[in-house]
Structure 1
């Protein structure tokens, strides 16, 4: 039975014991993989990469002792009450360009129509178990699989058509690697592409990168494993759900070479029932997986530095990142795409990444704060550097007249992840329009900025040949401080409304506002309806309507 088994690995105090432990580990690995030679021990100097693995057929055996078919990929789909997504997951495998695969759906005690969905697809093998969690379901699928290669596809995610072909091609070129991994794109519950940060492509020190916190592997389905690695790591650890993927990546990359490629091979779905939305549980599990490496890293200063950085990430940075993600989800569910939003951000620009919606800091700087000077002249055309990011809105303003005191024109430029955004008046590409001879336009707009930041071409003219200045701001420069009292907070709110704000978002990290500015709180809650209220995420007030 395949299950998690922690290997004995005491990396302790003296140099001799470290070397002896490394030799023991190397011998264990050679027995599991049929490798000859040695591995680099964990010394105080810079670590060496893991040695290449010569894979033996004996280590490739399945749980029943048989050799796996030489080219077969087993796609294991654990499912717990995700029948409404499962159909898409299965079809994404059936439409692969690589044809030598099997699909195993492990029903983890679902109470929905998972069984009916599977029955509609005859090639799919169905395995039922009492509810035991994601790691257990994956281990069950591993136990029932026959393939030489393995992919674990969550039921709410999808593979892109070339995923298996890409993975198998990479692993054949690098047979010494335990797994290869690619990139994903992020989609919502309906399959629309969502903005996401740039994904890292790690070329070396994968273990160190994972030790630093987080994971460069966003979606489990982007990973294609050699079956033989599970002879060594023994599957997923149910004790660290929902961070079992991260735990496995740490255990594998610590001892084996892996490879990361740049191909997008899967779609990772964000929706209201994602397991990773339970931030406290995820944080606790990730810390447990991370701290399981503490003995291993003690003898190496490079590893220790990465480990300390990872502890800080999981304890401090991760909760904030997840709050930002949840705010994006709440905004997506409750506010229109053309909404104008003021965010009590404390100056953190991450909180303004709201899928291209117009958003600015609250409290904002005084109106005469224009942002950064982009260009100057009576007329001209300039291409921005690649800094336009998906989910952000940028304001370009043209000023002229005496001392450039008069705003002549402005244009809003959106960065979007989807190359085919939902059509709207604001999303439609803009054509040059002259008003009293003044010209200011951006082409393209919106700007496609999925994997990399995008660029746009700004064209301007003051119309009368006089000198002009063109400024750019990411929608509202932060005032640099919090309001002095409730009266100032209310004044700033009204001025923000006058500048076009339709909604006010107060993130959970700024809930202290509602206690500190009592008069402000009473005014807002009495006057403006809350369209969303999540005590762990944010409160959103509709500034357009008065109660």
Structure 2
């Protein structure tokens, strides 16, 4: 949204917020309002809906400033890529329909980007909240480290990560083969290609933790995709990236991941036996 030029007094940068959506009617209004209340920057909000059957479409029609479509897609990754293609901003991010930005988030990113012109990807911190918006815990990030990303997993929260437009213009999009770890795949791909990540030490968004995104089925699939990516990029980078310290960490994280996987598999077997999937 852009007010008259005479009233503008902010960095000359535009943000594109892409929201993939499917039957998140109970949450999407919070998402839309959180973007609508952003001040001090120019922005557009693009919603790519996958033919929702709940109240989502009725809510979208209440907001004439939105650029939205409702059409079949191949999953969340496909929806985000569609949004990237449609975006016109200098900086792009995807904000899931059940998450929401905090006041002043975009202005902080714009100021940080101006102070760090070498940045290709900017990521901030986020808070975890429950389905009612009640605070659960803070997630504070640290400066980018490829080895940590590779061996630990995606510690960079997609809900507070922004990508420079030149990345999209170069044709670098999310890999549609990944439906659960698309953010991990994207960060690994960008970092391996040499794009520069910068951490903004500020809380920019709330990540909503609820029954749908905590499911055991999704957790097992995320684990499988993560292992596939780790094997791929370990092979691409070779053993040169493995110092003694990181070998020890890899052993620790592998052990921890195996324990978690076994726990999840036991839960999945229970879900199957009870006929819940």
Task: State the TM-score, normalizing by the size of structure 2.
Answer: 0.83
Q: Which residue in the other structure is 2:3 paired with?
A: none
- The DSSP-based 3-state class of the residue aligned with 2:142 is coil
Q: Which residue in the other structure is 1:260 paired with?
A: 199
Q: Which residue in the other structure is 2:100 paired with?
A: 158
Pairing of 1:341-490 with structure 2 (within 5 A): none
The alignment status of 1:220 with 2:158, answered yes or no, reads yes
Which residue of 167, 175, 186 corresponds with 2:109? 167
- What per-residue deviation string (whole Å, max 9, x for no partner) do you get for residues 457-498 of structure 1? xxxxxxxxxxxxxxxxxxxxxxxxxxxxxxxxxxxxxxxxxx
1:108 CA drift (Å): 2.0
The alignment status of 1:269 with 2:208, answered yes or no, reads yes
Distance 1:253 1:71 in 2: 24
Distance 1:284-1:311 versus aligned 2 partners, 3 A rule = farther
Distance 2:234 2:195 in 1: 18
Gaps of 5+ in 1: 1-69, 327-507, 510-533, 537-547
1:238 CA drift (Å): 1.5
Q: Which has the higher contact order (CA 8 A, sep 6+)?
A: 2
User: In the alignment, is the contact (CA less than 8 A) between 1:177 and 1:258 conserved in 2?
Assistant: yes
Q: Which residue in the other structure is 1:239 paired with?
A: 177
Q: Which residue in the other structure is 2:9 paired with?
A: none
Which residue of 141, 152, 168 corresponds with 1:230? 168
Which residue of 25, 45, 48 corresponds with 1:83? 25
Which residue of 44, 57, 68 corresponds with 1:126? 68
- The DSSP-based 3-state class of the residue aligned with 1:212 is helix
User: In the alignment, is the contact (CA less than 8 A) between 2:126 and 2:206 conserved in 1?
Assistant: yes
Higher helix share: 2
Distance 1:288-1:307 versus aligned 2 partners, 3 A rule = farther
User: In the alignment, is the contact (CA less than 8 A) between 2:220 and 2:261 conserved in 1?
Assistant: no
The alignment status of 1:200 with 2:141, answered yes or no, reads yes
Q: Which residue in the other structure is 1:384 paired with?
A: none
1:264 CA drift (Å): 0.5
Count of aligned pairs between the two proteins? 259
User: In the alignment, is the contact (CA less than 8 A) between 1:236 and 1:248 conserved in 2?
Assistant: yes
Task: State the TM-score, normalizing by the size of structure 1.
Answer: 0.44
Gaps of 5+ in 2: 1-11, 272-277
- What per-residue deviation string (whole Å, max 9, x for no partner) do you get for residues 200-228 of structure 1? 312x5x212201222221x3121111111
